Amino acid sequence: MNVNLSTHDLRLKDAAHHFHPFTDHGSLGLDERRVVTRADGVWLWDSDGNRIMDGMAGLWCVNVGHGRQEIVDAVRAQMSELSYYNTFFKTTTEPAIHLAEKLAEITPPQFNMAFFGGSGSDGNDTVVRMVRTYWQIMGKPEKKIILSRVNAYHGSTVAGAALGGMAGMHGQGGVIGDIQHIMQPYWFGEGRDMSQDEFGIHAARALERKLDEIGEENVAAFIAEPIQGAGGVIIPPETYWPEVQRILDERDILFISDEVICGFGRTGSWFGCETYGTRPDMMTMAKGLSSGYLPIGAVMISDKMAEVFHGKGGEFFHGYTYSGHPACCAAALANLEIMQREKLVERTANDIGPYLQERWKKLGEHPLVGEARMKGLVGALDLVPDKNDLSKRFSPEGAAGNLTRDHSFNNGLVMRAVRDRMIICPPLTLSHEEADELVRIASKTLDDAYADLKRQGMAAG
């Protein structure tokens, strides 16, 4: 590696040659590029030596915190022994076998089979192909439509973007057919004329209304995140998921829980479907599966579906060169060992989760915040221009969120902005002192942003 390049030189090279994901390339300034060089626990360091708290666990993935040497050691040992072999054509490898067995152990009882991929996006591509193939094998090829939700995020491949409910993504490159979207359970944004409980039932019944409209005989599956992450941490009312499960129980469609963010302890259970009591037929997993140490994803397949594929299905023409990659499986296994040994799921449910939630919710009293919400260790603040009229929104949309995010970064905390919602998703290893520090910086950030927004005439008060 080139050593001792100045931050400026690194930024110049980055601007010249590196095409960033999810970026407005026209407006990304040179000096805005932050070069992250090192990380440990919940802390990041940049090339200027600034220490910043990683309030987003990377991209919702570093559940066990940064710099865990035992994952590095496990990967190193595996790389020395067998750095790559595939799992096609009647071959397998030890790390893939052990990881599949471990996933069968920690997932709900209906799951005993894992299919491996490299990410959440390709996992959802697998889901699309598998649920439609399932119904073909069952002799019901007309069951093709997959239902999803507005403002869902299911990845950025063609299928992932089509499953997702982001209009901007649909407009870039088009979508695949036979996917339809129902409303999201976003009470603060769309339901405040009802109680939370009423709205939860109303939003759930959108599934029933849709099935009646297009005919259950045409529907393959419903896919949903237990809590929508990239859409802005939309925590559904408590009535939502039980009502969805009631509808699913009455209908002959498959249910896919996209656990890419909610899996691996994030909501205080191993999986989000356990927090909310749903019974999926498939689960998509990635991110926290390896805490981001190496790229790996997995799709869990229920016994009911596996039996059909093991029966008269013939060959399923699907797989990735890196399905079950030995080094990635070794990283995931070491990560899960840490999670179990340090009881990070229980800690999120009973200790650091409630501790941070209590303090985070107090931020809801700030004049800039319309609602503060958090479940497990994933939360959001909905910013509003006028606390006395919660129906008002910032104009232009997103400007307040961007400004607040920049203040947060400069104050030493990574919070993400989803338009005018501030998102937090820290490592599950966060200590009480670090939680206090997180809330202290978030609070100062809200003060700084509020002062700016008032000065610019964008916020009341």
Ligand X SMILES: *Cc1c(COP(=O)(O)O)cnc(C)c1O
Pattern 165-184, ligand X, x by CB under 6 A: --------------------
Of 55, 58, 65, 120, the residue at the interface with ligand X (CB under 6 A) is 120
CB of 87 to ligand X, least distance (A): 19
* DSSP 8-state assignment for residue 41: B
Q: How far is the CB of 155 from ligand X (least distance, A)?
A: 4
Bin 160: left if φ > 0, else alpha if -120 < ψ < 50, else beta.
alpha
Residues with Cβ < 8 Å from 424, sequence gap 6 or more? 55, 56, 360, 374, 378, 379, 380, 415, 416, 438, 442
Q: Which is nearer to ligand X, 47 or 348 (CB)?
A: 348
Q: How far is the CB of 123 from ligand X (least distance, A)?
A: 7
- Least distance (Å) between residue 95 CB and ligand X: 19
Please name which of 233, 244, 94, 213 lies closest in space to residue 145, comparing C-alpha atoms: 213
- Residue 60 or 450: which CB sits closer to ligand X? 60
| 143 or 154: CB nearest ligand X | 154
Binding mask 186-225 for ligand X (x = CB under 6 A): ---------------------------------------x
Ordered DSSP codes for 405-433:
HHHHHHHTB--EEETTEEEE---TT--HH
Decide: helix, strand or coil at residue 223.
strand
Question: Which of the ranges 101-109, 255-263, 316-324, 338-346 carries the binding residues for ligand X, by CB under 6 A?
Answer: 255-263
Residue spans of alpha helices (H) in 215-294: 240-250, 272-276
Between 203 and 286, CB nearer to ligand X: 286
**Angstrom distance (rounded) from CA 18 to CA 2:** 16
Q: What pairing do the DSSP bridges indicate for beta strands 378-383 and 421-424?
A: antiparallel
3-state secondary structure of 283: strand
Say whether residue 261 binds ligand X (CB under 6 A): yes
Largest CA distance in the chain: 68
Q: Which member of 78, 87, 107, 119 binds ligand X (CB under 6 A)? A: 119
Q: Does 153 bind ligand X (CB under 6 A)?
A: yes
Please name the residues in contact with 447: beta carbons below 8 A apart, sequence gap of 6 or more: 366
Q: Is 125 in the site for ligand X (CB under 6 A)?
A: no
- Label the pairing between strands 254-258 and 282-285: parallel
Interaction with ligand X in 220-239: which residues (CB under 6 A)?
225, 229-230
- To ligand X, the closest distance from the beta carbon of 232 in angstroms equals 12
Measured from the Cβ of residue 346, the count of other Cβ atoms closer than 10 Å reads 14
- d(C-alpha 35, C-alpha 320), whole Å: 32
DSSP letters for 352-384: HHHHHHHHHHHGGGSTTEEEEEEETTEEEEEE-
**Which residues from 7-66 bind ligand X, rule CB under 6 A?**
60
Cα separations in angstroms, 370 against 126, 388, 418? 39, 9, 15
Residue in 47, 87, 93, 121 binding ligand X, rule: CB under 6 A? 121
Q: What is the DSSP secondary structure assignment for residue 281, as one 8-state letter?
A: S
Q: Closest CB to ligand X among 144 and 416?
A: 416
Tokens of 190: 């769309």
Q: How far is the CB of 426 from ligand X (least distance, A)?
A: 16
Size of the site for ligand X (CB under 6 A): 14
Minimum Å distance from CB 456 to ligand X? 33
Site for ligand X in 56-85 (CB under 6 A): 60
375 binds ligand X (CB under 6 A): no
What φ, ψ does residue 19 adopt, rounded to 5°? -90, 105
Give the contact letters, 410-429, x = binds to ligand X (CB under 6 A), - = no: --------------------
Q: Are 233 and 423 in contact (CB under 8 A)?
A: yes
Block residue for tokens 């649909």? 170
* 204, 219, 260, 430: which one binds ligand X (CB under 6 A): 260
Q: Determine, following the binding rule CB under 6 A, whether residue 378 of this chain makes contact with ligand X.
A: no
Q: Which of these segments, 66-74, 83-91, 253-261, 334-342, binds ligand X (CB under 6 A)?
A: 253-261
Beta carbon of residue 230, minimum distance to ligand X (angstroms, whole number): 5
CB of 452 to ligand X, least distance (A): 30
Q: Of 154, 181, 210, 347, which one interacts with ligand X (CB under 6 A)?
A: 154
- Which residue in 54, 208, 243, 258 binds ligand X (CB under 6 A)? 258
Binding to ligand X, residues 279-318 (CB under 6 A): 286
Candidates 77-85, 149-157, 268-276, 376-384: pick the segment binding ligand X (CB under 6 A). 149-157
Binding residues for ligand X, rule: CB under 6 A, are 60, 119-121, 153-155, 225, 229-230, 258, 260-261, 286
